[in-house]
Amino acid sequence: MSAPGRPAAAGAVPERPHRPRRSAGRVRRTLARALLALFTLGVLGAAALFGLVARYAAELPSVETMRDYNPSLVTKVYAADGSVLGEFFVERRVIIPLSEIPPTLQAAFLAAEDASFFAHRGFDFRAVARAAVRNVLAGGVVQGASTITQQVARNMFLSSEVRFARKIKEAILAYRIEKHFTKEDILGLYLNHIYLGQGAYGVQAAALTYFGRTVDQLNLLECAVLAGLPKAPSAYSPAQHPERALKRAGYVLSRLVETGALTAEQAKAASNLPLRLQKGREAQRGAFFLEHVRRTIEKTYGTDMVHRGGLEVRTTLDPRLQAAAEDAVRAGLREVDKRRGWRGPAQRLGTDDPVKIEALIRGLDTWPAALAEGQIAPAVVREVSDRAATVRVGAGEGVLPVAEMRWVYGQGREERMKSPRQVLRAGDLLQVRVLAPGGPGVPARVALEQEPDLEGALLCQDVSTGAVLAMVGGFDFARNQYNRALQARRQPGSAFKPFIYAAALESGGWTPASIIEDSPIEFENRDDAAKVKVWRPSNFENDFYGPTRLRVALNHSRNIVTIKLMQAVGVKKVIGVAQRLGISSPLAPDLTLALGSSSVTLQELTTAYGAIAAGGVRHDPLTILSVKDRSGRVLEEHAPTATVVLSPDSAHVLTSMLQTVVSDGTGWKVKELGRPVAGKTGTTNDYVDAWFMGFTPDLVTGVWVGSDRRESLGWHETGSRAAIPIWLPYMAAAVEGRPASVFPVPPGVVFAKIDPERGVLAGPDNPGAVVEVFREGTVPTATAPRSPAREGDDNRFGL
């Protein structure tokens, strides 16, 4: 700059004069314009926001609908002893009033989710600001700010999608809810509605799901675990992630200390408590029965009501008998299947590479942590020697000796199994039964098993009511839901014969002492092409026995005598009696019906045999006793039915004949039960179906064994060999604790000594005389001369 008073040097830029007043005015005007613009934007934004709020407010439903809110509830099915047999639900929810939720549990949820719940009006501005700061500092969303009221609004009226519009709607609804409901109402609704993982909605359902106890039985740590779930039910699930659940519970306990609900000492003591989780549930007992109940009530009330309506269904099933039935069917089918031979490993790696074997072991999702005697478990072969295979089973090692796998080649060929090397390789995935669990340093001892490809069914009913006490519809419901006790129609074979004898007894012209000649017969029939077909029926033994009393014929299941008896009584009459007793399936109106050619269900046969056991009174099967709605109102009730279908004296005489089947006939194995029992075996051509239908004075039980593919069970797999080994252990368990009783003798039944060879009254000096039972008025009038008892009556072979 040049000195004052001197002209500027050539080329220099002249200095501009300072104008401070004009510049300050420009700044003020610019600031004023900016403030005006911001104010205008604020007004416009507020107006837009107000309009948006007003629009959303007009669209939102009335919160008053919450007063009539009926959440989806669990339908519970109860067994006869009052225990819960099963549940139907979309959302597992058990509603309880707030007064029944412990204050400790309430405080835990408030501390974790909304500590100022009782102070705010549905929206907590401080919490929003606090969460915003923490999220900014963390560089992401680490804390939410929704109040419990907002969560109720979201869960009941809105989607879970995180959007600005939803947050506005949530705030509006929360404000409305706070105006119309008390804090206690809101908290109670929240604690019964919140999703807590594992399909459980509400604290009561969650307590039962995770801990197997109701909320009033939870300790402080368990309360903290539940209160930590709303943030992320899957991530903090104690069942799936116990370590995370405990860490989250620690946070809840610290929040309880901060809010003054707990002292630091109380929180520390709670954190040291053990986490007592509900053990894994056993396989569903009574699954076939439960599915039958579901189908039945859905026909009346619909799927939505059954799965959301909170019905209470009381049934007839006896849990103890059901467990015995399932165990008997599974064990029996395994034994029949073993006689058919081994089908090989479930998976074969084809290598003894330890790495690949370990990968197979890790991949098993059904691997048991602990072993118990009798348990069926998967096993992977590690090594094979001439005497045994070393397997991995459970968490340790096991030994499978050759003696426990000799059945692999099938019945009668056990001697072929000399060494496990004949059939096993390292890397084979097997199924084994634990004989001895072993222990530290001691390998388990196991036996080779395989899952049967056969099926079976068992149905047990109370003789006096028809109540279904046990129902098994197949080997495994998880494998196949088809209920063979109710749905499968199969040929009954000789199990149909008692209905023919019932019709004969009812006719009045036949008695157990009546004699029919067991001799060859043949029938001619012309088909559509006018070709003559000849039917020559035979007995199981392919032999003929000459004059045969009806008791002996039924006892040994003689086909020829039964056909001739049906021919004499009349096919139409036999069908009528069978239908009255309980057979509703179509029956062929020809003589092949005598051999059980028409297919029936196990339930039909069980009901019919039950009518014989009940003295000629049919009790239709009873499964559901009552149904109540969520408020306890009775929707339906069912009592036993009773229809007289046979005269009491005929029923008793037939029962007596069926007792002989057990004492000295095809059902002789059942004598092991050690009490009065009657029954009948049944076997169809080529051993496709095997049956045993039996009853005591109290219980009637039917068993069927067969294949869904209708293939042969194997040579000589009769009802006596395949079905009785299921029936007998089940009934032994079923009658345990029940006093033994005899079949009552009704009026109209008389007894007389007869000559067993001639079927007439025995003379006074007849050493072979036997006592026979008759309907009054049907006792033979002729008397036989002295004659020795006929040989062959103790034959124990046949169908």
List active site positions.
Answer: 113, 494
Give me the half-sphere count of Cα atoms (radius 13 Å) on the Cβ side of residue 613.
32
Query: How far are the Cα atoms of 107, 117, 126 from residue 257, in angstroms, in the given order?
Result: 11, 17, 20
Q: Which two tokens stand for residue 485?
A: 């006790």
Phi, psi of 725 (to 5 degrees): -65, -10
Identify whether the C-beta of residue 85 lies closer than 8 Å to the C-beta of residue 319. yes
Side chain identity at residue 165, one-letter code:
A
Residues ≥6 apart with Cβ < 8 Å to 477: 284, 287, 288, 291
The candidate with the shortest Cα–Cα distance to 736, out of 320, 388, 228, 333, is: 320
Q: Which two tokens stand for residue 778?
A: 């049907």
CA dihedral 288→292→293→294, nearest 10 degrees, is 100
What residue has token string 């003054």? 260
SS3 percent helix, strand, coil of the chain, rounded to 5, is 40, 20, 40
Identify whether the C-beta of residue 548 lies closer than 8 Å to the C-beta of residue 561. yes
Element of type H or E holding 165: helix 164-180
Q: Where are the alpha helices (DSSP H) in 614-645?
A: none
Three-state DSSP state, 436: strand
The candidate with the shortest Cα–Cα distance to 467, out of 295, 604, 640, is: 640
Burial class (CB in 10 A: 0-12, 13-18, 19+), 529: exposed
| CA–CA separation, 449 and 400 (whole Å) | 11
Identify whether the C-beta of residue 500 lies closer than 8 Å to the C-beta of residue 569. yes
Q: What is the DSSP letter of 114?
A: -
Burial class (CB in 10 A: 0-12, 13-18, 19+), 756: buried
Side chain identity at residue 761, one-letter code:
L
Buried b (16+ CB within 10 A) or exposed e, 117-154: beebebbbeebbeebeeeeeeeeeeeebbbbbbbbbbb
Q: Which two tokens stand for residue 454?
A: 């056969």
C-alpha 495: how far from chain center: 29
What residue has token string 């059904």? 366
DSSP symbols for 28-90: HHHHHHHHHHHHHHHHHHHHHHHHHHHHHHHHSPPGGGGGG----B-EEEE-TTS-EEEEE-S
The candidate with the shortest Cα–Cα distance to 695, out of 374, 389, 463, 470, is: 463
Q: What's the distance, Cα to Cα, between the start and end of the chain in Å?
A: 134
Q: What is the DSSP letter of 686?
A: G
Looking at the chain, the number of H-run helices and the number of E-run strands are 20, 27
| CA–CA separation, 698 and 703 (whole Å) | 17
Strand ranges across the sheet with 75-78? 84-88, 75-78, 312-315, 624-628, 634-637
Identify whether the C-beta of residue 503 lies closer than 8 Å to the C-beta of residue 573. yes
Query: How far are the Cα atoms of 149, 393, 429, 497 from residue 377, in angstroms, in the given order?
Result: 50, 7, 11, 42
| CA–CA separation, 502 and 678 (whole Å) | 14
430 forms beta bridges with 379
| CA–CA separation, 635 and 637 (whole Å) | 7
